[in-house]
Amino acid sequence: MDLKCLDDGSFVAPRAPEQGQRTFGGQFLAHTLRAAQLTVDDDRFVHSTHSYFLRPGDVNTSTELVVERVRDGRSFSTREVTAYQDEVEMFRTVISFHVPEPGLDWSPPKHFDVPGPEAKLTSYNEFWESLSPNLDGPWHGRKRPMEIRYINPPELPEGKPITDPQLMWIRLSEELGQDRRLHETALAYLADATLIDHVLLPHGFRWQDERLDGASLDHSMWFHREPSADEWLLYEQRVESTSGSRGLGSGRFFDQNGGLVATCVQEGLMRWNTKHQ
Segment 63-106, tens digit of pLDDT? 999 999 999 999 999 999 999 999 999 999 999 999 999 999 99
Q: Can you give the pLDDT at residue 214?
A: 85
* CATH number of the domain enclosing 190: 3.10.129.10
Higher pLDDT, 194 or 180: 180
Range of the domain at 229: 116-277
- 263 pLDDT exceeds 80? yes
Determine the Cα angle at 270 with ends 204 and 122, to 5°. Answer: 50
- 275 pLDDT exceeds 60? no
Q: Could you tell me if 59 and 170 lie in one domain? A: no
Local confidence band at 276 (pLDDT 50, 70, 90 cut-offs): low
Q: Could you tell me if 89 and 153 lie in one domain? A: no
- 176 pLDDT exceeds 90? yes
Local confidence band at 206 (pLDDT 50, 70, 90 cut-offs): confident
Name the burial class of residue 223, with classes exposed (0-12), middle (13-18) and buried (19+) by CB atoms within 10 angstroms of its CB: buried
What are the start-end ranges of the H helices in 10-123?
25-37
Catalytic residues: 192, 216, 266
Q: Could you tell me if 76 and 123 lie in one domain? A: no
Give the mean model confidence (pLDDT) for residues 194-205: 90
Domain boundary among 75, 100, 125: 100
Count CA atoms within 13 Å of residue 188 on its CB side: 31
Is residue 239 included in any domain, yes or no? Answer: yes
Q: Can you give the pLDDT at residue 155?
A: 85
Q: Can you give the pLDDT at residue 174?
A: 95
- 277 pLDDT exceeds 60? no
- Rounded to 10 deg, the angle between the 180-191 and 25-37 helix axes is 160
Give the mean model confidence (pLDDT) for residues 9-26: 90
